[in-house]
Amino acid sequence: MDNIDHFVEILLKEKGVTGVDEEVLAGLKKDLSSRLVQFINKRVIESLPESNRKELNSLIESSPVDNIKIQNFLSSHIINLPEIIINAMQEFKRLYSGE
């Protein structure tokens, strides 16, 4: 289980989502995971200097997409990347739980 899956499970438990059919629960997890990843990606891109966004776009649009290369690019151009990801996850949790 990766960090996103674990985080989503915690969110659902804290929200009180229990006793749900396994198929429904799997759908909820998939949807929430997708929304979380999109939210994190948005915050990461917002943190990237404008001058580097075109290069990032080129990496994303390359075929085949090299996720390691993208990760290395982001790590080298965003000094506090782990902090940005953590803050995005915390913000998502606040929004999801209605705090």
- Name the residue type at position 16: G
User: Can you give the residue range of the structural domain that contains 11?
Assistant: 3-97
Q: How far apart are CA 45 and CA 57, in angstroms?
A: 10
Exposure on the CB side of residue 3, measured as CA atoms within 13 A: 7
In tens digits, the chain (99 residues) has pLDDT values of 589 999 999 999 999 988 889 999 999 999 999 999 999 999 999 999 999 999 999 999 998 989 999 999 999 999 999 999 999 999 999 999 887
Number of domains in the chain: 1
Residue 62, sorted as left (phi over 0), alpha (psi -120 to 50) or beta, turns out to be beta
- Name the residue type at position 18: T
Per the confidence metrics, is the pTM higher than 0.85?
yes
